[in-house]
Structure 1
Amino acid sequence: MNRRLFLRNLAASGVGAYLGSRAFVRALEVADLSRVDVEKVWVREVPQILARIKPPVFPDRDFDLTRFGAVGDGRTDCTESFRRAIAACHRAGGGRVIVPAGTFLTGAIHLRSNVCLHLMPEATIRFSQDPQKYLPVVFTRWEGVELMNYSPFIYAFEQENIAITGEGTLDGQSDEEHWWPWKGGARAKSEGPNQIKDRNALFEMAERGVPVSRRVFGAGHYLRPQFIQPYRCKNVLIEGVTIRNSPMWEIHPVLCANVTVRGVKIISHGPNNDGCDPESCTDVLIENCFFDTGDDCIAIKSGRNADGRRLKMPCQNIIIRGCRMKDGHGGVTVGSEISGGVRNLFVEDCRLDSPNLDHALRVKNNAMRGGVLENLYFRNIEVGQVAHAVITIDFNYEEGEKGNFTPVVRNYVVQNLRSGRSQYALDIQGFRNAPIRDLYLEDCDFAGVAKPSIVKNVEGVTLRNVRINGRLVDRLA
């Protein structure tokens, strides 16, 4: 389906909340929050979101990958076997493509509607280190900007009812010699080619409004592919698998509706190795996952600068619960590619703990991105230790005030948070002409804090039973 048809179907389906939920948005705009107000929001809104998030169900048909010529010896190229098995499953009306025990080497895998890629225990899909295996280029999004680039390792475009499930492993085979050096800097063992020139060229094209069809990269360029990217898809499930060693972002649904990410384990410490980055998506559930990453564990996104404003699609109606975060830049992050905005984020019952985790709860924005970030709710959060701050809301990220677009954060609510060790409890920095508004903290206990909080340009702070190093505080200094 084309983009216009996809958006029309999204609105008609009832899951395109941005296209039909202005009353819902208004209901969350509370000027003077109380405990009762916050509880009403959780009780009223979260069940409505969950009622719309329904994982796809597949026909009881199995297509064993080995029947299509695949050999699980870790050496035989199984790319064509995956293509044939997925095509057969799709033609039959759907079912599961079964990856049995063994190690199956492949290039890009493209999912189709009504197909579940299911990895049995002891099954590994190992992705080729040869960039040519991810050509021809596909329509994708890279750091918040649309383009034609290398295919993500597992990709789907404008499909419905797709899944990746099972107890097996997805191995990206990225390391200091493959994919990661394209970042440049410390990851590069030599002064070889890297992404810097291409990254700048892509961003410049987006600012000039160059059509996406002419933003062609891929062969001869060095913009790393993502690991898993469903693009403009509906009814997506990713469940149970372990993901290792990605080129960059791991799970990256874009412009999708009805997405469930459940029970996934991600261990990948490469550059920009975010764990799960829903971008411009509606109705997303991320639950019971484990993240040990080289960048943000979870990052909510909605496009970068001019390209994000062109698409005008926020990320919204997102529930994150029962997740554990270890290493990373941020545990639950909003931004920085956030120009389309974000609204209605609910995070509960998560544990974050590592000396190599910089921030627990984080917002990254600036005057180049802009975007309205509102109705962000957190409760029952356990933080063992973080390296910088437990809660960071920063408008000075990267470009800071060097832009003409006003960043907005309003209605940021944290309840029942406990932390054990950090440099700062809070690092909250708005702009003088764009203060952070309506920050509500209740029943929060920040222990082992080394330095006074950083608080600049914040309006409308409510503190109820907030302690820092055992001392009850009634204002932020």
Structure 2
Amino acid sequence: MIDEWNQGPRDMARRSVLAGGLVAAMAATLPLVAAVTGEDDWAPARAILARIRPPRFPRRDFDIRRHGADPANQAKTSAAIRDAIAACAKAGGGRVVIPAGLWPTGGIRLLSRVELHLEDGATLRFSTDPANYLPMVLTRFEGVECMNYAPLIYAHEAHDIAITGKGRLEGQADWTNWWNWISRKDEVISSGRRAAQKRLADMAAKDAPVADRIMGPGAYLRPSFIQPYNCRNVLIDGPTITGSPMWVIHPVLCSNVTVRDVVIQSLGPNSDGCDPESCRDVLIEGCDFTTGDDCIAIKSGRNRDGRRVAMPSENIVVQQCRMRDGHGGVSLGSEASGGIRNVFVRDCRMGGSDLLRALRLKTNSYRGGYIENILFRDVVVDSVKEGVLEISLLYGEGPGGPNPPRRVGGVTMRNVRSSGSLYALDIQGDASLKVDDVTIIDCAFDNVRKGNQLVRAEVEARGVTINGRAWNGLGQA
């Protein structure tokens, strides 16, 4: 029997993610995890966690120095990483080791059975030259499939892949490179990006073949940092990640994903921390987020293209995370056209001077899909600038569209303690659809400046206080 590495600092009893199925198998619809009240409301999450199995790898090391890596030469280091990954995969798997030191590189593509391991003190510093992320690859940009620049670390249709270790991944994005693609200061970039976004949206609306949706040079659509695409058995454990061009960890159409003990520090535009999109059986655990957008944003494709692919994000557990800065602690949407369900959040700490919301659901009448069966419990919210719970059916394109969601509801918030916010609950339904079945149990919202804002919402509250005063009973607005 081949010896294997023991991944991560936590014992196996706490590990998870289903060792099951290529994305093709994901097309079969799972039954909804039944909502359970009382002390058993975490039982569905335990069932998900019981399936979670991070990948394990043969005990073989491929040190990039043996393949010609040179800390003074980006081209040599990039080639050495590529060669080490190829050799590791050919041998049947193992670890590609990034030793202590600073290593400049271009894009990296992971292959099946390969663990990219950053030793303590190791830094991979990624080029900011977009040419280093060509040729273009199949990806999603804001929920729409296209051909675009490769993410900084990319995998396609791979299985059993990992990024581990306490080293650093530095994207180097700032307002002199990637982030300035979203700026309006350069009209060439700004007009190119706007034209590309419209062209992509128009092509998706007409179901144009994805291979024809060519973006890349001149389109100015930024890539994600880490993106496994249509992969299974994925582990990201331990690194610190800084300076992402856009979304940081962005698994798409993946099953059996574990993101653990990652520190994310990226305050750029749209620098979401972790965005599982159309993924099944995901654990996000023990991570620390300081982001320029949502800390965690669960998605499933945008508008017609999301409905065409028709893969929900489902069976997702978030626990023991710290959300310091961003637009939302845990957000669902707004790209929710494939549906989002069975999301369980527990034992997290959120807030501070710069977090806007704790739990956020956002969609609109163009998305379709659904968002349902969400549990948010045992969370300490230091303070947020807006609502502790915010649900909006008017996000982005807003009302009046042809595809309102089938449902947004089935949300339970239990044992949440908030120290300050503009609203406790800020829920905005749409004229064509109420937000239904929102239950708030044993929660205390202190230093709330404006109480609640409820429009077309059904809310039941039990054992709830706002600024020390009881707020109980079934309410509709």
> How high is the TM-score relative to the length of structure 1?
0.92
- Deviation of 1:344 (Å): 0.4
Residue in 2 aligned with 1:19?
28
In the alignment, the residues of structure 2 paired with residue 104 and residue 203 of structure 1 have an alpha-carbon distance, to the nearest angstrom, of 38
**For each residue in 1:343-396, what CA deviation from the matched residue of structure 2 results, as whole angstroms up to 9, or x when unmatched?**
100000000112211111101100011211110001101100111111000011
In the alignment, the residues of structure 2 paired with residue 409 and residue 353 of structure 1 have an alpha-carbon distance, to the nearest angstrom, of 25
In the alignment, the residues of structure 2 paired with residue 172 and residue 197 of structure 1 have an alpha-carbon distance, to the nearest angstrom, of 26
Residue in 1 aligned with 2:11?
none
- Deviation of 1:47 (Å): 2.1
In the alignment, the residues of structure 2 paired with residue 247 and residue 38 of structure 1 have an alpha-carbon distance, to the nearest angstrom, of 42
Distance 1:204-1:226 versus aligned 2 partners, 3 A rule? same
Residue in 1 aligned with 2:310?
312
In the alignment, the residues of structure 2 paired with residue 305 and residue 247 of structure 1 have an alpha-carbon distance, to the nearest angstrom, of 24
Matches within 5 A, 1:336-415: 336-407=334-405, 408-415=407-414
Q: Aligned AA for 1:40? A: D
Residue in 2 aligned with 1:229?
227
* 1:469 and 2:471 aligned: no
Distance 1:399-1:443 versus aligned 2 partners, 3 A rule? same
**For each residue in 1:102-155, what CA deviation from the matched residue of structure 2 results, as whole angstroms up to 9, or x when unmatched?**
111111100000000000011111111111000000000110000000000000
In the alignment, the residues of structure 2 paired with residue 46 and residue 426 of structure 1 have an alpha-carbon distance, to the nearest angstrom, of 24
Residue in 2 aligned with 1:292?
290
- Deviation of 1:223 (Å): 0.5
Residue in 2 aligned with 1:33?
none
In the alignment, the residues of structure 2 paired with residue 405 and residue 10 of structure 1 have an alpha-carbon distance, to the nearest angstrom, of 26
Q: Aligned AA for 1:330? A: G
In the alignment, the residues of structure 2 paired with residue 235 and residue 370 of structure 1 have an alpha-carbon distance, to the nearest angstrom, of 29
3-state DSSP of counterpart to 2:357: strand
Q: Aligned AA for 1:346? A: F
The farther-off stretch of 75-84 and 271-280 is 75-84
In the alignment, the residues of structure 1 paired with residue 126 and residue 21 of structure 2 have an alpha-carbon distance, to the nearest angstrom, of 36
In the alignment, the residues of structure 1 paired with residue 39 and residue 45 of structure 2 have an alpha-carbon distance, to the nearest angstrom, of 11
Residue in 1 aligned with 2:42?
42
Q: Aligned AA for 1:223? A: L
Note if contact 1:77-1:105 (Cα within 8 Å) is conserved in structure 2.
no
Residue in 1 aligned with 2:125?
126
3-state DSSP of counterpart to 1:85: helix
3-state DSSP of counterpart to 2:37: helix
Residue in 2 aligned with 1:79?
78
Distance 1:221-1:10 versus aligned 2 partners, 3 A rule? closer
Residue in 2 aligned with 1:191?
187
Residue in 2 aligned with 1:249?
247
**For each residue in 1:405-435, what CA deviation from the matched residue of structure 2 results, as whole angstroms up to 9, or x when unmatched?**
1222121000000000111111101113200
Number of residue pairs matched by the alignment: 453
- Deviation of 1:73 (Å): 3.6
In the alignment, the residues of structure 1 paired with residue 464 and residue 230 of structure 2 have an alpha-carbon distance, to the nearest angstrom, of 42
Residue in 2 aligned with 1:321?
319
Note if contact 1:412-1:439 (Cα within 8 Å) is conserved in structure 2.
yes
Extract unaligned runs of 5+ from structure 2: 1-19
> How high is the TM-score relative to the length of structure 2?
0.92
Note if contact 2:68-2:76 (Cα within 8 Å) is conserved in structure 1.
no
**For each residue in 1:444-467, what CA deviation from the matched residue of structure 2 results, as whole angstroms up to 9, or x when unmatched?**
1000111131100013x2211011
Extract unaligned runs of 5+ from structure 1: 1-6, 29-35
Note if contact 2:244-2:268 (Cα within 8 Å) is conserved in structure 1.
yes
- Deviation of 1:9 (Å): 4.2
3-state DSSP of counterpart to 1:413: strand
- Deviation of 1:41 (Å): 3.7
The farther-off stretch of 68-77 and 378-387 is 68-77
3-state DSSP of counterpart to 2:128: coil
Note if contact 2:140-2:146 (Cα within 8 Å) is conserved in structure 1.
yes
In the alignment, the residues of structure 2 paired with residue 81 and residue 210 of structure 1 have an alpha-carbon distance, to the nearest angstrom, of 38
- Deviation of 1:38 (Å): 4.2
In the alignment, the residues of structure 1 paired with residue 325 and residue 57 of structure 2 have an alpha-carbon distance, to the nearest angstrom, of 35
Distance 1:77-1:199 versus aligned 2 partners, 3 A rule? farther
Q: Aligned AA for 1:225? A: P
3-state DSSP of counterpart to 2:413: strand
Residue in 2 aligned with 1:31?
none
Note if contact 1:73-1:102 (Cα within 8 Å) is conserved in structure 2.
no
Residue in 1 aligned with 2:99?
100
RMSD: 1.6
In the alignment, the residues of structure 1 paired with residue 408 and residue 218 of structure 2 have an alpha-carbon distance, to the nearest angstrom, of 40
Residue in 1 aligned with 2:54?
55
Residue in 2 aligned with 1:302?
300
Identity of aligned residues (%): 53
In the alignment, the residues of structure 1 paired with residue 396 and residue 337 of structure 2 have an alpha-carbon distance, to the nearest angstrom, of 14
Note if contact 2:247-2:270 (Cα within 8 Å) is conserved in structure 1.
yes
- Deviation of 1:402 (Å): 3.0
Note if contact 1:94-1:113 (Cα within 8 Å) is conserved in structure 2.
yes
Note if contact 1:162-1:237 (Cα within 8 Å) is conserved in structure 2.
yes
**For each residue in 1:141-193, what CA deviation from the matched residue of structure 2 results, as whole angstroms up to 9, or x when unmatched?**
110000000000000000000000000000001111100011123xx4x4341
**For each residue in 1:65-118, what CA deviation from the matched residue of structure 2 results, as whole angstroms up to 9, or x when unmatched?**
111111124756521111100000000000000000111111110000000000
**For each residue in 1:29-66, what CA deviation from the matched residue of structure 2 results, as whole angstroms up to 9, or x when unmatched?**
xxxxxxx72433422x2222112210000000000011
In the alignment, the residues of structure 2 paired with residue 311 and residue 174 of structure 1 have an alpha-carbon distance, to the nearest angstrom, of 31
In the alignment, the residues of structure 1 paired with residue 76 and residue 202 of structure 2 have an alpha-carbon distance, to the nearest angstrom, of 38
